[in-house]
Amino acid sequence: MIMTLTPGQEVNIQTYLYTMPADIKENIKECTDKWLNGESAYGYPHPVHVCENIQAANARQPFLSVQQLVDLQFLKNHLRQALQ
């Protein structure tokens, strides 16, 4: 099943993706694109799981700034709401 995002959802997601490091941004974007096409990426059933894994990795060995961590939480919330 192919899903779509509203323009508002897409802007919100892109805004928070923009603040992420390049590798994380690309990983979440690829997973989101695949999920919208009805696929899974790297075994993740939903892009929110990618965000949760990044948060867990950051808790063990911090690599995100405080602002990036806050933005990741907002991104996760937007993905959860947009991709239900």
> In this structure, what token pair is assigned to residue 35?
């999920």
Is residue 7 domain-resident?
no
Rounded CA-CA distance 62/69 in Å is 10
Asked whether the beta carbons of 13 and 75 are under 8 A apart, the reply is yes
Asked whether the beta carbons of 44 and 36 are under 8 A apart, the reply is no
- pLDDT of residue 1 exceeding 60, the answer is no
Average pLDDT, the chain: 87
Position 74 scores a pLDDT of 93
Containing structural domain, residue 68: 13-82
Is residue 50 domain-resident?
yes
Rounded CA-CA distance 24/54 in Å is 8
Is residue 42 domain-resident?
yes
Binning pLDDT at 50, 70 and 90, where does residue 39 land? confident
Is residue 4 domain-resident?
no
Tally the domains of the chain. Answer: 1
Rounded CA-CA distance 40/48 in Å is 12
Is residue 6 domain-resident?
no
Q: What is the per-residue pLDDT across 49-74, written as a single tens digit (0 to 9) for each?
A: 889 999 999 999 999 999 999 999 99
Q: What is the percent of the chain with per-residue pLDDT over 70, rounded to a whole number?
A: 94
Rounded CA-CA distance 50/35 in Å is 12
The predicted model scores a pTM of 0.84
Is residue 27 domain-resident?
yes
